[in-house]
C-alpha cells in the first residue's frame, strides 16, 4: 500500500468537504435574501456535494485497507458502492429540484436582490470547477473512481451554474418571476442525467463488465513483445477492485516444458505487462500445454516435437485472447 498516495486521496476529499460547507452556507444565506428557487437548487447541490464527499472519504479509507482472509481481493469495491450512492443522491436532488420548480411555477413568489445572488452563484461555480478539475486529475492519476466521480459531479455543478447565472441575469433584467422556475426545471433535468451517468458507470464496474479499452491495450502490449515460446494467450479477464486491476489469463507453452521453464515464461509475461501497463495490477497466469493443432501457426522454429509445418502466424485480437479456448491438450 502506497501511504503517500493514500494520504493524498484523503487530503483531497477533506479539502472538498471544507470548501463545500462554506459554499453551502453562502448559498443558503443568499437564498434567504433573494427567495430564488434557482439559487435554492444550487444550495441543494452543495448539500449533495458535502454528503458525497463524506461518503467518498469514508470509501477511500475503507478501500485503502490491505487484503485480509475475508477480503482476498482487498476492499476496493467499496469505492464503487460509494460512487453508486453518490449517483442516487444526485438523482434524488434533481427530482426534488424539479418538484420545487413546478410548485413555484404554479404559485410564483416575489424575488429580490437578485444581483447579489448572481455574484455569489458565479463565484461558487468557478470554485466548484477548480475543485472538480483537481479531484478528477488526482483521481485519474491514482486510479480512484470515487475522486473521479466526485470531481465530475463538481464540474457538472459548474456547467449548470453557467446556465443559472445567465437565467438569473435575464430574470434581473426582465423581472419575470416564472423564469426562475424554468431555470430550476432545466437544471433539475441536467442534474438527474449526471446522476444517471455516474450510476451507470459504477453499476457496470460492480457487475464486472468487460473494459474492452483496457483489453485492447493489453493485446497491443503482449503482441508487440511476444516471445516465440508463447504459442497462444487466451481466456483473458480484467476486473477492477479499487485502484487495482486483477488480470487473469491462460498462457499456452510448448508441452515439453518443465515446471521451472513454464514458471520462467510466466514471469517474463508479467514483466512485459508491468513495464508497459501504466496502472496498478495483480496478474494470475495459468499455463496450458500446446498440441499439434497449433503447429501451423506456431513460430517456435526449434520445437523438437513439431508435427506440421508453419504456415501463418495469426495475430492476437480482443476476440482471440478473451475466448475461453477449446484447443487444450
CB 233, CB 249: distance < 8 Å: yes
In angstroms, the CA 166 to CA 172 distance is 10
Query: What does the DSSP 8-state code read for residue 293?
Result: G
In angstroms, the CA 91 to CA 188 distance is 9
Q: Give the residue from 231, 230, 239 showing the smallest Cα distance to 270.
A: 230
pLDDT tens digits, 62-84: 666 666 667 656 666 666 777 78
CB 228, CB 294: distance < 8 Å: no
- Please state the pTM of the whole predicted model: 0.59
Mean pLDDT across 123-145 = 85
Pairing of strands 232-241, 244-253: antiparallel
Q: Give the residue from 146, 120, 104 showing the smallest Cα distance to 43.
A: 120
Mapped onto helix, strand or coil, the DSSP state of residue 285 is: strand
> Over 60: is that where the pLDDT of 2 sits?
no
What CATH class is the domain 3-206? mainly alpha
CB 116, CB 197: distance < 8 Å: no
pLDDT-derived band at 1 (thresholds 50, 70, 90) equals very low
| Domain boundaries, given as residue ranges, for the chain | 3-206, 212-322
Mean pLDDT of the chain: 79
pLDDT tens digits, 79-126: 677 778 778 888 887 888 788 778 878 877 777 888 898 999 899 989
Q: Give the residue from 32, 43, 179 showing the smallest Cα distance to 113.
A: 32
Return the CA Rg of the chain. 27
Cell numbers representing residue 175 in the block = 423581472
212-322, superfamily in CATH?
Cation efflux protein, cytoplasmic domain (3.30.70.1350)
Handedness of CA 96, 102, 103, 104 (dihedral sign): positive
CB 242, CB 301: distance < 8 Å: no
In angstroms, the CA 65 to CA 79 distance is 12
In angstroms, the CA 149 to CA 2 distance is 22
- Poorest-confidence range of 1-5, 51-55, 105-109, 230-234? 1-5
Do the domains at 3-206 and 212-322 have one common CATH topology? no
Chain centre distance of CA 281: 16
pLDDT-derived band at 328 (thresholds 50, 70, 90) equals very low
Amino acid at each position: 500500500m502506497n501511504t503517500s498516495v493514500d494520504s493524498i486521496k484523503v487530503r483531497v476529499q477533506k479539502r472538498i468537504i471544507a470548501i463545500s460547507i462554506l459554499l453551502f452556507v453562502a448559498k443558503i444565506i443568499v437564498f434567504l435574501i433573494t427567495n430564488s428557487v434557482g439559487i435554492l437548487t444550487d444550495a441543494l447541490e452543495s448539500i449533495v456535494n458535502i454528503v458525497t464527499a463524506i461518503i467518498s472519504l469514508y470509501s477511500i479509507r475503507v478501500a485503502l485497507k490491505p487484503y485480509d482472509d475475508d477480503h482476498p481481493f482487498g476492499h476496493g469495491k467499496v469505492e464503487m458502492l460509494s460512487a453508486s450512492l453518490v449517483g442516487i443522491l444526485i438523482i434524488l436532488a434533481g427530482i426534488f429540484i424539479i418538484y420545487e420548480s413546478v410548485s413555484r411555477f404554479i404559485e410564483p413568489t416575489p424575488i429580490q436582490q437578485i444581483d447579489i445572488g448572481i455574484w455569489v452563484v458565479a463565484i461558487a461555480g468557478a470554485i466548484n470547477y477548480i475543485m472538480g478539475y483537481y479531484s478528477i486529475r488526482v483521481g485519474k492519476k491514482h486510479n480512484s473512481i470515487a475522486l473521479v466521480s466526485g470531481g465530475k459531479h463538481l464540474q457538472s455543478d459548474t456547467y449548470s451554474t453557467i446556465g443559472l447565472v445567465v437565467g438569473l441575469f435575464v430574470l434581473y433584467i426582465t423581472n419575470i418571476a416564472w423564469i426562475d422556475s424554468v431555470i430550476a426545471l432545466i437544471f433539475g433535468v441536467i442534474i438527474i442525467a449526471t446522476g444517471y451517468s455516474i450510476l451507470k458507470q459504477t453499476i457496470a464496474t460492480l457487475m464486472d463488465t468487460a473494459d474492452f479499452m483496457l483489453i485492447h491495450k493489453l493485446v497491443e502490449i503482449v503482441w508487440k513483445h511476444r516471445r516465440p515460446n508463447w504459442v497462444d494467450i487466451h481466456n483473458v479477464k480484467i476486473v477492477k477492485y479499487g485502484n487495482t486491476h486483477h488480470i487473469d489469463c491462460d498462457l499456452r507453452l510448448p508441452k515439453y516444458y518443465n515446471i521451472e521453464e513454464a514458471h520462467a515464461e510466466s514471469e517474463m509475461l508479467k514483466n512485459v505487462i508491468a513495464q508497459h501497463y501504466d496502472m496498478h495490477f495483480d496478474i494470475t497466469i495459468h499455463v496450458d500445454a500446446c498440441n499439434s493443432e497449433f503447429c501451423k501457426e506456431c513460430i517456435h522454429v526449434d520445437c523438437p516435437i513439431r508435427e506440421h509445418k508453419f504456415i501463418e502466424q495469426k495475430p492476437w485480437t480482443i476476440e482471440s485472447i478473451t475466448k475461453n479456448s477449446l484447443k487444450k491438450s
